[in-house]
Amino acid sequence: MKRRTEITFEVEETVVSKRGGKFFREYCPRCESVTEMASPEVLASLTGSSEREIFRLVEAQKIHFIEADRIFGCVRCYRRSIAQIAYGGEP
């Protein structure tokens, strides 16, 4: 008689940007709440996408952003846009 054993691993990941990536909290009118705003470098590292993808979503007005010394995008808007793309829709 054969036995089958299934092992499940949970992985938790923490991303630390030491190359000048910045983030802070700011009000996002699209999310209607105070949320994390991050540089494109940090947003890209959160999901393994590219900074160009971040700029494409900013240009398409799918991510709320502010301009300080550089562009900072809303992390919540970005995650929502990525989820919509993953489930077959256009953000």
Does residue 8 lie within any of the structural domains?
Answer: no
Q: Coil, strand, or helix at residue 38?
A: strand
pTM of this structure: 0.65
Domain that holds residue 53: 23-86
- Residue pLDDT, tens place only, 1-50: 788 888 887 877 665 555 555 778 899 998 899 999 998 888 888 778 88
Instruction: Say if 13 falls within a structural domain.
Output: no
Residue 61 in domain: yes
What are the φ/ψ torsions at residue 79 (nearest 5 degrees)? -60, -40
Residue 82 lies in a domain: yes
pLDDT per position as a tens digit, 46-68: 778 889 988 998 899 888 999 87
Torsion angle in degrees (nearest 10) through CA of 35, 36, 39, 40: -70
